[in-house]
Structure 1
Amino acid sequence: VAFRFRPVARETRVHREKRLPSEAESSPRSPPRRSRRPGADGPRRRRAGRGPRAAGAMSQRQVLQVFEQYQKARTQFVQMVAELATRPQNIETLQNAGVMSLLRPLLLDVVPTIQQTAALALGRLANYNDDLAEAVVKGDILPQLVYSLAEQNRFYKKAAAFVLRAVGKHSPQLAQAIVDCGALDTLVICLEDFDPGVKEAAAWALGYIARHNAELSQAVVDAGAVPLLVLCIQEPEIALKRIAASALSDISKHSPELAQTVVDAGAIAHLAQMILNPDSKLKRQVLSALSQIAKHSVDLAEMVVEAEIFPVVLTCLKDKDEYVKKNASTLIREIAKHTPELSQLIVNAGGVAAVIDCIGSCKGNIRLPGIMMLGYVAAHSENLAMAVIISKGVPQLSVCLSEEPEDHIKAAAAWALGQIGRHTPEHARAVAVTNTLPVLLSLYMSTESSEDLQVKSKKAIKNILQKCTYLPALEPFLYDAPPNILKHVVGQFSKVLPHDSKARRLFVTSGGLKKVQEIKAEPGSLLQEYINSINNCYPEEIVRYYSPGYSDTLLQRVDSYQPLTN
């Protein structure tokens, strides 16, 4: 109803306002009424009074809008750069566009989010290659990061630590630049931060600095990082445990003194407790850290063993994760290499058989530590070498020698077989019956074999031949071996034949004696002495019969023979 009658009311008012001027003119005594029209002078004056304030408010909004747009532009820029830096194909374009100089001032931006994203973008760029990492150093960005690392919130701390890690990982020189700018003390303080992510980022950066060399590792130790890293491996967060264990491994690997520092901080007991942790990545780092400690000396290896890692560590050889297997084999190898007693302890715990099974269940570089471990065990004594033989280690090593495509793995297998076969004739026979000697010879003579493989194959052949009395395995070498190997083969025949009549007969019927007569040896040489020893085992006419040219001599006798006539 109100809506319906409103036009009427408006219309009445309009008509009234139209009549007012005529009434005023007809009655001069009455004062003029003020008009209430919107366009009259009164309201116009009031609006004019509000004008400066309104203009000021509009101007203020415009100014603030400029700053808001600038902030949005900066935010969008750092976010896009951080996103683009995740793709390798964009890195060169970003670098050519001068992205480093543009990101640097944004590290000190008044907006925390922009600071953090700028640091993240720098970290991703520096992580890509050492040229970009060096650009971070040359751009004097590190001091800004270190300063802000101590002052800013946890998000910035994680991003800044990421940049330090990305720079320091490439080379000792770049890592030293981080040390020189005073970053270690700040990173160590971050290890005490309440936030686990900050601790993890700091531990990661410290580990990447320490891994390069002993000097940088010592700098990390001097900054007081080791006790705090040991505390970090006791934290409940799995990711923090992994990174802290990795950092301890990187510190320990360089020298016995650095490893002793880690041991003195109580690391071994805590690391040993985590061997059976279900997290595979954590087990990798734990086993690696224990390996790096044990490798330096007998005392350190014994301290690792005293933490009761056997037989628990043997279960890791059956783990689904290939690198857990590899690191477990490495740990056992580093312990076994020191003394016969430590090797015997491993044998008694079932370690040799477990490692052999592990070698059979994997391929490539995962096999390498296990292969070397068998060689170290066998090298210590006859009994330990026999333990490897009894556990069927020789056939498995022979498979590795034949199947593996990588020369360095073949070289390790050849070395291990040589260590097994070098003790007694029984040990040498155990290797020879697996048809390993011809494989070793072919690897030694192959032009495609690496120098290291040739050297180790030659050494293994000599080690085995010098003890081998199993003549069927030796005889093929009479036909194929080069002179420097042949003398060892002939030498073994010269040792066996004088004492074995059956072997002497087989040597004749198989063509061995004939082959020996064909060998051209220098008079007075060791090889000639061996040949003479063999010939002395047979009647003179037998030796002449198998000597080269004997048939011609017989034919000459036939030609010169005068038959008897009646």
Structure 2
Amino acid sequence: MATTRAILQVLDNYQKCKLDFVEAICELSTKEQNVEVLHSSGVLQFLKPLLLDTIPHVQQAAAFALGRMANFSEDLAIGIVDNNIHYQALRSLKELNRYNKKPAACMLGGIAKHNSQLAQEIVDIGSVEQIVLCLEEFEPGVKEVGCSAVGYIAKHGLNFAESVINAKAVPLLVISIQDTDLALRRASVLALAEIAKHGANVAQVVVDATAVPLLATLITHPDAKLKRNACYCLSSISKHSPELANIVVGAGIFPKIYISLKDADPQVRRNAAILIREVCKHTPTLAQIVVGGGGAAAIVENVTDTRGSERLPSIMTMGFIASFSETFADMLVSLNGIPPLVDALNTEPEDHIKSACVWSLGHIARHTSTNALSVAQCGALQKIVVLLLSPRSCEDLKSKCVKTLKGVIQKLRHLPALDALLQGPKLPEDLLKLLVLQLEKILENDEDGRTHFVTSGGFEKLQKSSIEPDNELKQSIEHINTFYPVEIVQYYSPNYPDLLLRKVIRGES
């Protein structure tokens, strides 16, 4: 017969085995590569009853393990919802024990981060208010996990952002920015960014909570993650309207933000460039603030020094600045802004980056013939034509190529540049028509130009163009022909050898 001591020893061994098991799973869940194996082995069914275990440490470790795995795996997050495990996490959030709140909020946030459907599941069980209450806890770790969960919910759409606003999350997030705990500050700033990005109204809520002055001080913070989140949040506010952008500018981000364009962290550099873009895109006045404070040179340097998606925001910023006025476009040209755009056009493999380059070059060139010539002389036009004709180019890139070429051709007054474009790859007829009209205007009053046009081979190329007789383009070509002696026109016409042969035969006979 077993003694009382032996019986208690068996139960004690069971409790220890549970604790060892859940701690091992918790440790394994910290590595993403382990999650798929754990999920396929049915780990949910093992951990679900442990969330109700009598030992608090077992409950907490099980919840942490599920939260970490949900954070890594969308399939596992769906499994948690399908097994109604998230309801247990909500019950834990309602408890007074802060040690239970942290893993519960971790699990709910890990579920919500993946997509709007899972986020809606978390909202529908009424967990948003309980998650926001985590921000009132004294323990920084609990507040950090709560901030992260708020951000994961808010990022999926305007209705989710409004749900966390209605739960009074924004004032608590702003208070968390001022905490001494670095991880908490990072999470709170990112959550505010995820709220503000969805529209002017929700961004105004963040502004009204006096977040902007606090965020502006963080763009020079020594911590890279906090700095990149601050830039992201300020850009999420600025992008919606000139009024919001003016508030951000008024917080004193210039010229401090230009230092971040040279930061060692590439994401800080990119987010800083995005912030500058979102400010200056709205009005000439805001663009003037950037240009007048030395920002144009910093942006050109950023495009020159960076590669890939990191240079995209500054490429677009150049286009926004140039679009506002001839003066701004001239400044970008004087700062040698065109060569880095052409370099990106030639070297970047992604179509959306090429589209941005073409778009920005078009805005620089569209104001004056001088700027159009600067773009042409950098070899941009030939590359744009190649991209337009390439079957691999996306429709957006082709559309921007057509628009830019039209704008440049209509401004260009330099015959050699137009001639080079004519002698390149065959242009679509609408662009060729614009090109011939420009040639017509120039050649009519330029005797030396007419000579150059013949000796360069441009005149011959024009004669060999296959155009219908009654076409408007054909009429323009025939008008150009009137600038030359009949013999020149006949000599370069496609049927000249046959005509000459007939004359020889008639002469011999």
TM category (shorter chain) comes to: over 0.9
* Alpha-carbon distance between aligned partners in 2 of 1:320 and 1:97, rounded to the nearest angstrom: 43
> SS at the partner of 2:391?
coil
> SS at the partner of 2:396?
helix
The question of 1:438 aligning with 2:416 is answered no
Amino acid at match of 2:358: A
Residues 287 and 331 in structure 1, CA contact (< 8 A), matched pair in contact too: yes
Structure-1 residue corresponding to 2:396: 452
Closer, same or farther in 2 for the Cα pair 1:88/1:562, shift >3 Å?
A: closer
Q: CA deviation at 1:110?
A: 1.7
Structure-2 residue corresponding to 1:133: 77
Match of 1:530 among 458, 476, 479: 476
Q: CA deviation at 1:87?
A: 4.2
Q: RMSD of the TM alignment (CA)?
A: 1.8
Structure-2 residue corresponding to 1:107: 51
Structure-2 residue corresponding to 1:48: none
Structure-2 residue corresponding to 1:35: none
Structure 1, 550-559 or 98-107: larger mean CA deviation: 550-559
- Where do residues 246-285 of structure 1 align in structure 2 (5 Å cutoff)? 246-285=190-229
Structure-2 residue corresponding to 1:310: 254
Structure-2 residue corresponding to 1:481: 426
Structure-1 residue corresponding to 2:488: 542
Structure-2 residue corresponding to 1:63: 7
* TM-score when normalising by structure 1: 0.86
Q: CA deviation at 1:489?
A: 1.9
Structure-1 residue corresponding to 2:243: 299
The question of 1:344 aligning with 2:295 is answered no
Structure-1 residue corresponding to 2:449: 503
Structure 1, 533-542 or 226-235: larger mean CA deviation: 533-542
Structure-2 residue corresponding to 1:98: 42
Match of 1:147 among 76, 81, 91: 91
* TM-score when normalising by structure 2: 0.95
* Alpha-carbon distance between aligned partners in 2 of 1:90 and 1:391, rounded to the nearest angstrom: 52
Q: CA deviation at 1:228?
A: 0.5
Structure possessing the higher relative contact order (Cα contacts under 8 Å, 6 or more residues apart): 2
Structure 1, 127-136 or 445-454: larger mean CA deviation: 445-454
1:467-518 per-residue CA deviation (whole Å, 9 max, x = no partner) reads 1122222223323223323222212111211122221111122122222222
Residues 35 and 73 in structure 2, CA contact (< 8 A), matched pair in contact too: no
1:187-226 per-residue CA deviation (whole Å, 9 max, x = no partner) reads 1111011111111100000000000011111101100000
Structure-1 residue corresponding to 2:114: 170
Closer, same or farther in 2 for the Cα pair 1:188/1:483, shift >3 Å?
A: closer
- Where do residues 80-479 of structure 1 align in structure 2 (5 Å cutoff)? 80-479=24-423
Residues 432 and 470 in structure 1, CA contact (< 8 A), matched pair in contact too: no
* Alpha-carbon distance between aligned partners in 2 of 1:324 and 1:98, rounded to the nearest angstrom: 41
Closer, same or farther in 2 for the Cα pair 1:89/1:344, shift >3 Å?
A: closer
* Alpha-carbon distance between aligned partners in 2 of 1:529 and 1:419, rounded to the nearest angstrom: 31
* Alpha-carbon distance between aligned partners in 2 of 1:168 and 1:190, rounded to the nearest angstrom: 16
> SS at the partner of 1:519?
coil
User: How many pairs does the alignment contain?
Assistant: 507
Structure-1 residue corresponding to 2:464: 518
Structure 1, 439-448 or 214-223: larger mean CA deviation: 439-448
Closer, same or farther in 2 for the Cα pair 1:167/1:273, shift >3 Å?
A: same
Amino acid at match of 2:478: N
Q: CA deviation at 1:88?
A: 4.4
* Alpha-carbon distance between aligned partners in 1 of 2:238 and 2:478, rounded to the nearest angstrom: 52
Q: Which consecutive unaligned segments of at least 5 residues does structure 2 have?
A: none
> SS at the partner of 1:274?
helix
Q: CA deviation at 1:172?
A: 0.7
The question of 1:74 aligning with 2:18 is answered yes
Residues 122 and 163 in structure 1, CA contact (< 8 A), matched pair in contact too: yes
> SS at the partner of 2:467?
coil
> SS at the partner of 1:475?
helix
1:208-257 per-residue CA deviation (whole Å, 9 max, x = no partner) reads 00000111111011000001101111111221111111000000011111
Structure 1, 369-378 or 519-528: larger mean CA deviation: 519-528
* Alpha-carbon distance between aligned partners in 2 of 1:152 and 1:62, rounded to the nearest angstrom: 36
* Alpha-carbon distance between aligned partners in 2 of 1:366 and 1:130, rounded to the nearest angstrom: 28
Structure 1, 279-288 or 539-548: larger mean CA deviation: 539-548
Amino acid at match of 1:238: L
* Alpha-carbon distance between aligned partners in 2 of 1:259 and 1:86, rounded to the nearest angstrom: 35
* Alpha-carbon distance between aligned partners in 1 of 2:40 and 2:346, rounded to the nearest angstrom: 50
Residues 32 and 69 in structure 2, CA contact (< 8 A), matched pair in contact too: no
Match of 1:552 among 473, 498, 506: 498
Residues 98 and 142 in structure 2, CA contact (< 8 A), matched pair in contact too: yes
1:87-137 per-residue CA deviation (whole Å, 9 max, x = no partner) reads 445434433443212212211222111111100111122223222111211
Q: Give % identity.
A: 46
Residues 69 and 76 in structure 2, CA contact (< 8 A), matched pair in contact too: yes
Q: CA deviation at 1:295?
A: 0.4
> SS at the partner of 1:561?
helix
Amino acid at match of 1:469: R
* Alpha-carbon distance between aligned partners in 1 of 2:495 and 2:263, rounded to the nearest angstrom: 65
* Alpha-carbon distance between aligned partners in 2 of 1:278 and 1:125, rounded to the nearest angstrom: 31
> SS at the partner of 2:220?
coil
Residues 477 and 486 in structure 1, CA contact (< 8 A), matched pair in contact too: no
